[in-house]
A = this chain, B = another copy of it.
Amino acid sequence: MIEFQGVSYTYGGSSLLDEVSFALPQGSFHFLTGPSGSGKTTLIKLCYAALRASAGQIRVFGKDAATLDRDGVAFLRRNVGVVHQDCQFLDHLSVAENIALPTVVSGQAGARSVGNLQDLLNWVGLAEVANSFPPEISGGERQRAALARALINAPDIILADEPTGNIDWEMAQRLLKLLIELNKMGKTVLIATHDMALIRAAKTQVQSRVLRIQAKQVWLAGADL
Chain A residues close to B by CB (< 8 Å): 11, 33-37, 40-41, 85-86, 125, 129, 136-141, 144, 161-162, 165-171, 194, 196-197
- Complex contact B168–A165 (CB within 8 A): no
CB-based contact A37/B166 at 8 Å:
no
Query: By the criterion CB–CB under 8 Å, are A168 and B194 in contact?
Result: yes
A127 to chain B, nearest CB (A): 12
* Contact, CB under 8 Å: B165 / A37: no
Candidates B11, B125, B139, B167; contact of A41 at CB < 8 Å: B139
Instruction: Please name all residues of chain B whose beta carbon is closer than 8 Å to the beta carbon of A36 when the two chains form the complex.
Output: 125, 138-141, 144, 166-168, 171
Which of the residues B170, B171, B194 comes within 8 Å of A167, measured between beta carbons? B194
Supplied contacts A36-B168, A86-B139, A165-B165, 13 more A-B pairs, CB within 8 Å: A35-B170, A36-B125, A36-B141, A37-B141, A85-B139, A139-B161, A139-B162, A162-B165, A162-B166, A165-B166, A166-B194, A168-B194, A197-B197
Complex interface: chain B residues within 8 A of A33 (CB): 168
Q: Which residue from chain B places its CB closest to the CB of A86 in the assembled complex?
A: B139
Chain B's closest residue to A192 (CB) is B139
Q: Are A37 and B196 in contact (CB under 8 A)?
A: no
- Chain B residue contacts of A196, Cβ below 8 A: 169
In the complex, chain B residues whose CB is within 8 Å of the CB of A11: 136
Q: Could you say which of B35, B137, B165, B169 contacts A171, with CB atoms under 8 Å apart?
A: B35
Query: Which residues of chain B come closer than 8 Å to A140, judged between CB atoms?
Result: 36-37, 194
CB distance from A107 to the nearest CB of B (A): 32
Known: A11-B136, A129-B37. A169 touches B141 (CB 8 A): no
Give A121 to B102 CA distance when docked, in angstroms: 40
Bound-state Cα–Cα, A207 to B139, Å: 28
Query: Shortest distance in angstroms between A17's beta carbon and chain B's nearest beta carbon?
Result: 14
